[in-house]
Structure 1
Amino acid sequence: MSADHYFSAEPAAPARPIEVEFALRGRDYRLASASGVFSASRLDPGTAVLLRKAPAPDPGTTGALLDLGCGYGPIACVLATEAPAADVYAVDVNARARELTAANAERLGLRIHVAADIADDVRFAQIWSNPPTHVGKAELYALLDRWLPRLTPGGVAWLVINRHLGGDSLHTRLVDRGWVVSRVASQKGFRVLGVTRKTD
């Protein structure tokens, strides 16, 4: 039995190639995936809800957009397609996921900066994430505590989380940490949250 998880930095199991297809806003996407990454064989239901329910950036959007925990890159590829003038970043601890995201960006002719980490001085107009709930609450909260403060003053983070895996408790914790949180959608057991800074 493999001890690999989608949040393993270097999956040990051989990569079994998979193709994932989905349609969004009149566009068809066909992305390369592989075993050892998050939701390798399909567009994850939470990610699908996030992409359909959170407002997509318009074509004139500029600035930096972040796909946090990118997997094989469906969110990053959609963001780069919808907002070609933006600087799209994709971050994942999983090296195989990063390789797949970079390959998918190249295949689709998209400009995506793929990395394990990003310089501290980069600030994001938008953060999009289907965060890794299975790493445990402490790790999940630490991840968001690290990245959410990197929003620009008028920036927004769009998060999707399963209601049965802590969606409501995450909402409460973010408010307790000083964020303004709105539930923009609830579908198929998932919450889509919009997170912004408090304004004086």
Structure 2
Amino acid sequence: MGEHYFAEQPGTASRTRTIDLVLPDLHLRLATDRGVFSPDRVDLGTRILLETVPAPPDTGDLLDLGCGYGPIALTMATRAPQARIWGVDVNRRAIELAGRNAQTAGLDNVRFGLADDIDPDLRFAAIWSNPPIRIGKAALHDLLLTWLPRLTPTGQAHLVVQKHLGSDSLQRWLADQGFPTRRLASRSAYRILQVSARTQEGQTR
């Protein structure tokens, strides 16, 4: 059930399966399970994000925020083999799956964990995310205000958000928090928001 995917320990009984992520530049076979986000197929928003974002930085630390079973982080790891990729989630079942999927793909430049497992001093050259909109606006804002300030000065985040789930209001809110934000693309009612590091002016608001 979708409502369990942001629980730390999903109550849904496990039933694993395998799905495929096929993009022009890669093909990943991914193990999924009940109790994680979009277990039956790679979510359309995730696919649109991965087909739209510019190439990730070649080096540095890159973050997949709300990694689930790993399609975004593993794409980053494939496209930027010299970078160090981090995937963070609250769902332990998803984190375990993501680690297994990295091993299957032979990707050793990616690590998955809970938020507390990530060094608080790390700064990210890129953040890619299909953020968990359904946790509620207040919790979502707290999540973004925890991680977006950890962008490097030249770093950028790319978020995919459905229009009817508040992408336009989120864009305005991010700008109000001091993060320059623009709509990079719009497709199938999804917006790709490009968020730059917070400006000095924004830090003093």
Q: Partner amino acid for 2:195? A: V
Percent identity of equivalent pairs: 49
3-state DSSP of counterpart to 1:155: strand
Displacement of 1:199 after TM fit?
6.8
- Asked if structure 1 preserves the Cα contact closer than 8 Å seen for 2:60 and 2:84, the reply is yes
In the TM superposition, what are the counterparts of 1:45-194 in structure 2 within 5 Å? 45-57=44-56, 61-111=58-108, 112-117=110-115, 118-194=118-194
For residues 104 and 195 of structure 1, what CA distance do their matches in structure 2 show?
Answer: 28
Return the letter of the residue paired with 1:185. Answer: A
Residue 25 of structure 1: how far off its partner (Å):
2.3
* Cα deviation digits, residues 108-135 of structure 1 (max 9, x gap): 1112111102121010000000000110
Aligned-pair CA distance for 1:56: 2.2
Gaps of 5+ in 2: none
Q: Distance in 1 between matches of 2:166 and 2:15?
A: 31
- Larger % of helix: which? 2
Once residues 160 and 105 of structure 2 are traced to their aligned partners in structure 1, the CA distance between those partners, rounded to angstroms, is 25
Which secondary structure does the structure 2 equivalent of 1:168 belong to?
Answer: helix
| Distance apart, 1:102 and its partner CA | 0.3
**2:36 equivalent in structure 1:** 37
Q: Is the 2:156–2:196 contact (alpha carbons within 8 Å) kept by the matching residues of 1?
A: yes
Contact conserved, 1:66 with 1:126, CA < 8 A, in 2? yes
Tell me how far apart the structure 2 counterparts of residues 144 and 62 of structure 1 sit (CA, whole Å). 23
Instruction: Letter of the 1:151 partner, please give it.
Output: L
Structure 2 counterpart of 1:103, which letter? R
- Report if aligned partners of 1:22, 1:43 keep a CA contact under 8 Å in 2: yes
Figure out how many residues of one structure are paired with residues of the other and give that number.
Answer: 197
**1:17 corresponds to which letter in structure 2?**
T
> Which AA in structure 2 matches 1:7?
F
* Alignment check: 8 A CA contact 1:4 1:11 kept: no
Question: Could you tell me how far 1:26 is from its partner in structure 2?
Answer: 3.2
Maintained 8 Å contact 1:4/1:13: no
Distance change (3 Å), C-alpha of 1:4 and 1:193: closer
Q: Write out the 4+ residue segments of structure 1 that deviate beyond 3 Å after TM superposition.
A: none
The offset of 1:3, in angstroms, is: 9.5
C-alpha separation in 2, matches of 1:122 and 1:41? 33
The aligned residue for residue 12 of structure 2 is 13
SS in 2 for 1:20: strand
Q: Take 1:130 and 1:33, find their aligned partners in 2: how far apart are those partners?
A: 17
Distance 1:25 1:74 in 2: 14
Letter in 2 for 1:143: L
Answer whether contact 2:2 2:37 (CA < 8 A) is retained: no
What secondary structure is seen at the aligned counterpart in 1 of 2:104?
helix
TM (normalized to structure 1)?
Answer: 0.95
Deviations 1:91-117 (A, max 9, x none): 000000000000000111112111102
Structure 1: 5+ residue runs without aligned partners? Answer: none
The TM-score normalised by the length of structure 2 is 0.92
Amino acid at match of 1:113: R
